[in-house]
Amino acid sequence: MSAVEINFDGLPGPTHNYAGLSVGNVASQTNFGETSYPRAAALQGLAKMRRLMELGLTQGFLPPPKRPAAHALRAFGFAGSEDEVLAAAAEQDLGLFRAACSASSMWRANAATVLAAPDTGDGRVHLVTANLAGMLHRSFEAEETFALLKRVFSNADRFAVHGPLPSARHFGDEGAANHMRLAASHGAPGLNVFAHGEASRGGSFPERQSLPASQAVARLAGLEGARTFYALQNQGAVQAGAFHNDVVAVANANVLFAHPEAFADPARLYRDLHARLPNLKVVEIFGVSLADAVSSYLFNSQLVSLPDGGMALILPSDAKENAAAWAAVEAVLAADNPITQAVVVDVRESMRNGGGPACLRLRVPVDGAARAAIDPRFILDAARWESLARVVEAHWPEKIAPDDLVKPDLWAQAREAHAALEAAIG
């Protein structure tokens, strides 16, 4: 079966800002209180999408839910007009208000875990919406993402879209950021690897993905037990700022590109995977410290199969600026492995909140029939890309200083921006 993987990128929303909401995410904490540039953030995201289109890949996008999320604040007893709700929340619970303003839906690797049709019990692509229970601002995304995924992947013959698990720590689920699929090719049966943390082992940074959540996701999709692997994250990596496993490892087809300290027991994991996938190629990168991995986001690259063969690493510009990370990239390109190209993209506005190229996209493996069943409004061609870029240019705020978040003018501009986007999508 010929199959491809479509990257659905999150479009950074008009309220993109630096409110320091994510404990354990070093960039989010470090850049708290900085001025953000939402228009630049969205244009950087769009430029990355266009770059992948130029490489000959199918590219999708997912629009941001409405922020500030006045509708979510009503559940906490705030009432009145939208502006009244927002003003009261800003006054009475600034932390909650900021959570309702976050544009964190841009990191669509956290939208859902996607299980490929050749691996699932019923031969459909399964999408299990992530509850994002670990962070208040992110938990607001779950129900909206579920509704969006049902809209984009509405064909029930090809797709099964599941709602989020209960929003509790026991089931903390951060979606595809902690899941890797390894296979001889995208269309072949694959091995599914779920990386997870262990909240009880302590540490000052939270471990967001729980093993019971990963197990529930695997059950919901009907994955075969012998081809499903659970890998404990290395505690040192989590405590160095790898709050999601995709900060230290990425997989594509038969290649696993990883930091040697990504997993608690890498030797065992690689041995078990090798036993099931003899042509597995583990590209382990020595010589890049965890601190450099976290600041450069080298491993948060997208690793994509190119239409003419070979694979490309889609790297953040921060990786090029880090001497150790860039030396590693050059060594990988010179070595005997399927990675043939390095493509550098500028996603700095997202990076400053801890989101690199791989965080910004949800990968969905599809065969021809499933591809045809996706709502075409969410697959980009040149015209759709242009229309998104025009909406962003015209409606996204140029910048947001921390004090701007509480200003009704910003809320009005964000409302207009969301309406213009919805109109452009049609």
Residue numbers annotated as active site: 174, 244, 359
Region near ligand SUG per CB under 6 A, out of 100-108, 368-376, 380-388, 406-414: 100-108
Task: Identify residues 177-196 at the interface with ligand SUG (CB under 6 A).
Answer: 177
Task: Identify residues 138-157 at the interface with ligand SUG (CB under 6 A).
Answer: 138
**Does 25 interact with ligand SUG (rule: CB under 6 A)?**
yes
DSSP 198: -
For residue 386, give the 3-state DSSP assignment: helix
C-beta closer to ligand SUG: residue 355 or 365: 355
C-beta closer to ligand SUG: residue 186 or 361: 361
CB of 154 to ligand SUG, least distance (A): 25
Token digits of residue 254: 């038969």
Q: How many residues bind ligand SUG (CB under 6 A)?
A: 23
The strand pair at 190-196 and 179-183 is best described as antiparallel
CB of 93 to ligand SUG, least distance (A): 16
Region near ligand SUG per CB under 6 A, out of 65-73, 153-161, 241-249, 394-402: 241-249
User: Which is nearest to 305 in space by CA: 340, 345, 347, 336?
Assistant: 340
Residue type, 131: N
DSSP 234: P
Binding ligand SUG (rule: CB under 6 A), the pick from 102, 105, 139, 302 is 102
CB of 238 to ligand SUG, least distance (A): 12
CB of 125 to ligand SUG, least distance (A): 20
Query: Is it true that the peptide bond before 68 is cis, omega within 30 degrees of 0?
Result: yes
Instruction: Let me know if 308 is exposed, middle or buried by CB neighbors in 10 A (0-12, 13-18, 19+).
Output: exposed
Token digits of residue 30: 């470090």
The strand pair at 311-316 and 190-196 is best described as unpaired
CB of 101 to ligand SUG, least distance (A): 8
Region near ligand SUG per CB under 6 A, out of 209-217, 240-248, 285-293, 387-395: 240-248
**Does 28 interact with ligand SUG (rule: CB under 6 A)?**
yes
CB of 291 to ligand SUG, least distance (A): 17
DSSP 265: S
Cα separation of 182 and 249, whole Å?
Answer: 12
Contact string (CB under 6 A) for ligand SUG, positions 340-379, x = contact: -------------xxx---x--------------------
Angle at 195 between CA 262 and CA 60, to 5 degrees: 100
Q: At 382, which helix (H) or strand (E)?
A: helix 382-395
Return the axis-axis angle of helices 382-395 and 408-425, rounded to nearest 10°.
Answer: 160
Extended strands (E) in 346-390: 361-367
Task: Identify residues 246-265 at the interface with ligand SUG (CB under 6 A).
Answer: 246-247
Bridge-partner residues for 407, per DSSP? none
C-beta closer to ligand SUG: residue 41 or 135: 135
Binding ligand SUG (rule: CB under 6 A), the pick from 21, 142, 264, 273 is 21
Which residues here bind ligand SUG, judged by CB under 6 A? 18-22, 25, 28, 102, 104, 107, 109-110, 135, 138, 177, 243-244, 246-247, 353-355, 359
